[in-house]
Structure 1
Amino acid sequence: MILHLSQVLTSADLMAVLDAVGNARFTDGRATAGRAAAAVKQNEQGTGPAVDGALALVERRLMANDLFRDAARPSGFARLLLSRYATGMHYGSHVDAPLMAGRRADISFTLFLSAPDDYRGGELVIEDTSGERAWKLEAGDMLLYPSTYLHRVNTVKEGERLAIVGWVTSNVRSAQHRELLFELGAAMHEEFGSRGKTTLYDRLSWIHNNLLREWMV
Structure 2
Amino acid sequence: MLIKIEKFISKAEVAEFRRLLQQAEWIDGAQTAGHIAKSAKNNLQLAEDSQLARQLGDFILARLSQNQEIVAAALPNKIFPPMFNCYQGGGEFGFHIDNAVRRVTGAAVKIRTDVSMTLFLSEPDEYQGGELIIQDTFGEQKIKFAAGDMVLYPGSSLHKVTPVTKGQRLASFFWLQSLVRSDEQRRILYDLDKSIQALTTQNNQQPELARLSGVYHNLLRQWSDT
Give the conservation status (yes or no) of the 8 Å contact 2:11–2:147: no
Structure 1 residue aligned with 2:90? 88
Structure 2 residue aligned with 1:156? 164
CA distance in 2, matches of 1:25, 1:180: 43
Structure 2: gaps spanning 5 or more residues:
104-109
SS of the residue 2:156 aligns to = coil
Q: Write out aligned runs for 1:129-168 (5 A).
A: 129-168=137-176
**1:215 to 2:217 alignment:** no
Give the conservation status (yes or no) of the 8 Å contact 2:85–2:172: yes
Structure 1 residue aligned with 2:79? 77
CA distance in 2, matches of 1:61, 1:204: 29
Instruction: Give aligned-pair identity as a percent.
Output: 35
CA shift for structure 1 position 109:
0.6
Structure 2 residue aligned with 1:204? 212
Structure 2 residue aligned with 1:38? 38
Amino acid of the residue matched to residue 152 of structure 1? K
SS of the residue 1:166 aligns to = strand
Give the conservation status (yes or no) of the 8 Å contact 2:57–2:81: no
Structure 1 residue aligned with 2:17? 17
CA distance in 1, matches of 2:22, 2:165: 22
**1:126 to 2:113 alignment:** no
Structure 1: gaps spanning 5 or more residues:
none
**TM-score, normalised on structure 2?**
0.92
Amino acid of the residue matched to residue 6 of structure 1? E
CA distance in 2, matches of 1:58, 1:168: 13
- Larger CA deviation: 176-185 vs 126-135: 126-135
C-alpha RMSD of matched pairs (Å): 1.2
Show structure 1 runs of 4+ deviating over 6 A.
Answer: none
Deviations 1:168-206 (A, max 9, x none): 111111111111100000110111112422222112101
CA shift for structure 1 position 85:
0.1
SS of the residue 2:98 aligns to = coil
